[in-house]
Amino acid sequence: MNGDWLIRGRDGRLGVYWLSDDAVLCRAERVPGGTWDAPRRVGGEQSVHAGFAVGQGADGYAHLVAWRPTVPGESGLVHSTHFRPLLAPLDWIPIGHPQKNGDRTGTPAVAVDAEGRAYLFVRNRSKGVHTINQKERGGWNAWHNLRGSRVHEELVAVTGESGLVEVYGTNPDGILSWHQQEPGARPVAADPLPVRIEPGTLSALPTSKEHTTLFFADPEGMLYAWRPGGGDPVALIAAVGPGPVATFRCVLDGHDCTLLAQRSASGRVAFAAYPTEQESAGLWWTESGPQLPSGTRVALAEDAEGRVVAASMTPDGVLRLARQKDEPGLALAAWQEDL
């Protein structure tokens, strides 16, 4: 999947999303900090393909996008809104195909602007990028080709602290990006960053009113941070596992910090933190929890009491959580398995 699969809804409850067979499933806390409900199917009885996206707006609503089979050999994109984690998500609503018809073209990405409108991005058949966004009063605008070339499968879409939408992708030459210039406008291309990057390792985190920080690994496994317009990428630390790092901003000992998490080669979840936008301060990994199977996903969020929450989800849907203790630094309580 693409996006933050662990979210906190506007009612304070945590919720999670994952794919099982031909459906996106969700679970949520019955009360903030309490036990969890049973898994439920998102969007009704329609089947969906692997590879879906979640984006959350400032209003707390979650927007989900997935591919569904239509006629033999073809697929179309569908959208669902989830207003509160403990409520049922809306049924899947068809959006269509970026090039009118054909099969799945790439994993979608979705971001939600300051007005609560979802922006969907997906690679097209030509390995460029198409986008479509919700209208202010319901429905969707027409598809638009943002162009680009040789774009890899997964895109990363975020809404900056300014409320403007940004989307990032990679190709064999480096990082591509498109940025909104004003609310409601289509994102426009910025200068690409020529850099050696391992496909599938890109993640993004808004770190100030002016900046989004991108994190990625090079083919040798070194993790970098880079802010568009902010100079060259900065080498941070060797990644401890494959894929993108989970990223989150939190306050640790009174300081605005950026927290990273990743499943390590040992199978445990590793954490590292540093003062936000101060990469020169240095960081190191600390492992926590049990050994987890390959393919386990890791996510970070904040609960209703302001505690950092780390979550892991194994490929067979087993959810584990660890919450921050009332101690200095990032001290986590024991991981909970039977939720």
Residue 88 burial by Cβ neighbours in a 10 Å radius (0-12, 13-18, 19+): middle
- At 281, is the pLDDT very low, low, confident or very high (cuts 50, 70, 90)? very high
What are the sequence ranges of the domains in the chain?
Answer: 2-243, 244-339
CA distances from 194 to 90, 152, 172, 197, 203 (A): 41, 15, 9, 9, 17
On the question of pLDDT at 339 being above 90, the answer is no
Q: Cα(14)–Cα(18) distance, rounded to whole angstroms? A: 14
On the question of pLDDT at 1 being above 90, the answer is no
State which amino acid sits at residue 333.
A
> Which DSSP string corresponds to 94-123?
EEE-TTSS-S--SB-EEEE-TTS-EEEEEE
Instruction: State pLDDT tens for residues 198-251.
Output: 999 999 999 999 999 999 999 999 999 999 988 899 999 999 999 999 999 999
- CB 143, CB 124: distance < 8 Å: no
What does pLDDT average to over the chain?
A: 96
End-to-end CA separation in angstroms for the chain: 22
pLDDT score recorded for residue 40: 95
Q: Cα(127)–Cα(111) distance, rounded to whole angstroms? A: 20
Q: Which fold has domain 2-243?
A: Neuraminidase (2.120.10)
Instruction: State pLDDT tens for residues 106-138.
Output: 999 999 999 999 999 999 999 999 999 999 888
Q: Cα(258)–Cα(321) distance, rounded to whole angstroms? A: 19
Q: Cα(63)–Cα(28) distance, rounded to whole angstroms? A: 16
Average pLDDT over residues 320-331: 93
